[in-house]
Amino acid sequence: MFQPDLLAGKRILVTGGGTGLGKAMTTRFLELGASAVICGRRPDVLDGTRAELAATYGDRIAAEQCDIRDPDAVAAMMDRIWATAPLDGLVNNAAGNFLARFETLSPRAMDTVINIVLHGSGYVTLDAGKRWIAEGRPASVLSIVTTYSWTGSAYVVPSAMGKAGVLAMTQSLAVEWGPKGIRLNAIAPGPFPTEGAWERLVPNAELAKRFETGNPLGRVGKPEELNNLAAFLMADGSGFINGEVVTIDAGNWLKGAGQFSMFEDLTDAEWEEMKARGR
Q: Which residues bind ligand NAP (CB under 6 A)?
A: 15-16, 18-22, 39-42, 45, 66-69, 93-96, 116, 120, 144, 146, 189, 191-192, 194, 196-197
Using CB atoms within 10 Å of the CB of residue 239, give its burial: 0 to 12 exposed, 13 to 18 middle, 19+ buried. exposed
Residue 221 Cβ vs ligand HXC, minimum distance, rounded to whole Å: 10
Residue 148 catalytic?
Answer: yes
By the 8 A CB rule, do 201 and 97 touch?
Answer: yes
Residue 158, contacted partner among ligand HXC, ligand NAP, none, CB below 5-8 A by kind: none
- Of the candidates 57, 123, 148, 155, the residue annotated as catalytic is 148
**For residue 188, which of 250, 232, 237 has the smallest C-alpha distance?**
250
**DSSP symbols for 145-169:** --THHHH--TT-HHHHHHHHHHHHH
Spatial separation of the C-alpha atoms in residues 220 and 215, rounded to whole Å: 9
Cβ 189 to ligand HXC shortest distance, Å:
7
- Using DSSP's 3-state secondary structure scheme, residue 96 falls into coil
Closest distance to ligand HXC from the beta carbon of 236 (Å): 29
Selection from 149, 146, 141, 100 nearest residue 122 by Cα: 141
The span from the CA of 250 to the CA of 215, in Å, is: 6
* Of residues 81 and 94, the one with the C-beta less far from ligand HXC: 94
Residue whose CB is less far from ligand HXC, 129 or 189: 189
CA distance 188 to 147: 5
Please say which residue, 20 or 129, places its beta carbon nearer to ligand HXC: 20
Nearest distance in Å: CB 123, ligand HXC: 15
Residues near ligand HXC, by CB under 6 A: 95-98, 100, 105-106, 108-109, 112-113, 146, 159, 191, 196-197, 200-201
Give 129 or 158: the residue with its C-beta nearer to ligand NAP: 158
The catalytic site residues sit at 148
